[in-house]
């Protein structure tokens, strides 16, 4: 992927700075794993965009998928260690949103197991 610069902020935005990617990561952090669970989020991500963002996050190494049903074929998604490294970024965005953007404090999120 071509870079617009070597600025760390710009490089991060090139990977996950679109309107939907961090919301998908947020949902993964909050325990969602299946396509239908992502669609149920209140932001109302369109199905074609959700499918593309999951493919992109997987291609970039933020997410893995594993099949849980063969007929019909269905997969579950999970954050990789690289994806888990986005957790502090999301936490900072939550804190900023509550402090400066009128957001409500969300319920606590379970931390990933230490072995992952």
pLDDT in 10s for each residue of the chain, 116 residues:
677 889 999 999 999 999 899 999 999 999 999 999 999 999 999 999 999 999 999 999 999 999 998 889 899 999 999 999 999 999 999 999 999 998 888 888 766 666 55
Residue for token pair 């109302």: 44
Max distance between CA atoms of the chain, in angstroms, equals 47
Per-domain residue ranges of the chain: 8-100
For domain 8-100, give the CATH number. Answer: 1.10.10.10
φ/ψ (deg, to 5) at 113? -60, 150
Hey, what are 78's tokens? 């999970």
**pTM of the shown model:** 0.86
For residue 14, CA distances in Å to 6, 39, 102 come to 11, 24, 27
Q: What is the pLDDT of residue 106?
A: 83
């Amino acid at each position: 992927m071509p870079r617009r610069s070597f600025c760390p902020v710009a490089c991060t935005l090139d990977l996950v700075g679109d309107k939907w990617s961090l919301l998908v990561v947020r949902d993964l952090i909050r325990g969602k794993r299946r396509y239908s669970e992502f669609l149920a989020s209140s932001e109302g991500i369109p199905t074609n965009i959700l499918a593309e963002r999951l493919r992109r996050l997987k291609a970039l190494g933020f997410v893995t998928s594993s099949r849980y049903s063969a007929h019909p074929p269905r997969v579950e998604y999970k954050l990789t260690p690289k994806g888990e490294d986005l957790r502090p970024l999301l936490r900072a965005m939550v804190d900023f949103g509550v402090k400066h953007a009128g957001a409500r404090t969300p319920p606590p999120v379970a931390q990933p197991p230490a072995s992952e």
